[in-house]
Amino acid sequence: MTGMKPFKTLLPRAEALRIIEGNIGRVGRIEEVSIEGASGRVLAEDVTAGFSVPPFNRASMDGYAVRAEDTFGASGFNPNRLKMIGVQHAGEFFEGIVGKGECVQVATGSPVPEGSDAVVMVEFTKLDGDYVEIQKPAYPGANISPVGEDIKTGDTVIEEGEMLTPAKVGALAALNRETIRVYEKPRVAVFSTGSEIKPLGSDLSPSQIYDVNSYTLASIISANGCEPVIKGIVPDDRESIEASILDAASHDLGVFSGGSSVGVRDLFGEVVEELGEVLFHGLQVKPGKPTLFGIVEGTPIFGMPGYPTSCLSNAYIFLTPALRAMAGLSPAEPRRVAARMSARFVSSSGREQFLTVRVRDGVAFPAFKKSGAITSMAHADGYIILPVNLDVIEEGAEVEVTLFS
């Protein structure tokens, strides 16, 4: 019987991230999508305006379109009286010309009639039959959005490589873009390994558990610009593991959970090495020491720990940067907050440790239970990084918490 196979040199987090970064590139395939599905996608073309927005001088307030000079000197005690020659609602066009001593009632967003050069807000007017009393002077251009104030013809409104936010989708709509060219979402194959893992909805024997990692990993993949493809559960035999790795290599990236530890039946690392190259296996972090990263047939392959907390923790730290680079998204900028430890915490791991915590009123409460407890993450707001040489955090000590959201 073969014994346990120990890890080789454990790699520091920073070195592992450098290796990942050096072996991940943006997926360059392009597709055309409707504007309804464009939010969150990465633009594959410059968007240039073919016309100005607004395309006409537009009233920015409800009120009266006037010649500014006809309002000079007006006040509440001594209003200027102008004859109202028309009413123009949004979407309508007044075809006359505003002459001296005249005005037109206008709605927000409607074109400013020819001859007028200002809009007096309705709050500073009083309607008196066919006349309007102007109680406050308006300067030329007042309450008017001129042609092209927002976008001018020929402007590059959004550049290739930008992520389409709801506001940018709005700009596309303003430019009458019904479809847009974007980069395809990288397809990421997700596998869980281990004969003890069962799919949701199945019956469990006393030694089995439900597949958790496929769904937590798929959620992280979706949240970082990629498309998860849940492939199912891989039994603990060499033939099945080899077939699943080759299947993963037909995608843009493959992520496996479980099977990367040092147990007798953990064949995953051996098979990756036979089919391609293992770039690292074993990290100087807790949880998540058995994390693996390699290349098979040009496709990056991650081997994540099987325990749910370890798997998800390492996915946030090591998988997320790879996903965002492939999708063409900018690196995530995690939010960090200062807090004080609720109790003394002692670490004896000899590794860089990620301690999950809940934050309440500026106090950090450890949430970590065991690597197998998914509630260690479900009830946590973020994590504290404990350096290798830090063994103790005293109660009340100030710590920096990196938030998950």
pTM over 0.85: no
Average pLDDT over residues 388-396: 86
Instruction: Supply the pLDDT for residue 199.
Output: 87
Distance from C-alpha of 197 to C-alpha of 68, rounded to nearest angstrom: 77
Instruction: Supply the pLDDT for residue 322.
Output: 97
Convert the pLDDT of each residue in 287-334 to its tens digit. 888 899 999 999 999 999 988 888 988 999 999 999 999 999 999 888
Those residues with Cβ within 8 angstroms of residue 162's Cβ, 6 or more apart along the chain or in another chain: 42, 43, 168
Convert the pLDDT of each residue in 174-225 to its tens digit. 999 999 999 999 999 999 998 888 989 988 888 888 899 999 999 999 999 9
31 strand-pairing partners? 182
Token pair 């998204």 is found at 329
CB-based contact 294:245 (threshold 8 Å): no
Instruction: Supply the pLDDT for residue 234.
Output: 93
Convert the pLDDT of each residue in 136-185 to its tens digit. 999 999 999 999 999 999 999 999 999 999 999 999 999 999 999 999 99
Element (H, E) at 216: helix 213-223
Instruction: Supply the pLDDT for residue 375.
Output: 66
Q: Is the pLDDT of residue 4 over 50?
A: no
Q: What is the CA radius of gyration of the chain?
A: 31
Measured CA to CA in angstroms, residue 153 lies from 59, 149, 160, 235, 320 at distances of: 20, 11, 18, 60, 39
Distance from C-alpha of 33 to C-alpha of 28, rounded to nearest angstrom: 15
CB-based contact 355:400 (threshold 8 Å): no
Q: Is the pLDDT of residue 2 over 50?
A: no
Instruction: Supply the pLDDT for residue 390.
Output: 79
Measured CA to CA in angstroms, residue 355 lies from 220, 287, 338, 363 at distances of: 19, 9, 15, 14
Element (H, E) at 312: helix 308-314
Q: DSSP assignment of 84-97, as one string?
A: EEEEE-TT----SB
CB-based contact 218:230 (threshold 8 Å): yes
CB-based contact 254:300 (threshold 8 Å): yes
Convert the pLDDT of each residue in 108-138 to its tens digit. 999 999 999 999 999 999 999 999 999 999 9
CB-based contact 220:228 (threshold 8 Å): no
Instruction: Supply the pLDDT for residue 265.
Output: 44
Q: Is the pLDDT of residue 58 over 80?
A: yes
User: What are the φ/ψ torsions at residue 327 (nearest 5 degrees)?
Assistant: -80, -10
Average pLDDT over residues 331-350: 88
3-state DSSP assignment of residue 14: helix
Domains of the chain and any CATH numbers? 13-28+184-327 (3.40.980.10), 31-51+156-183 (3.90.105.10), 58-145 (2.170.190.11), 336-403 (2.40.340.10)
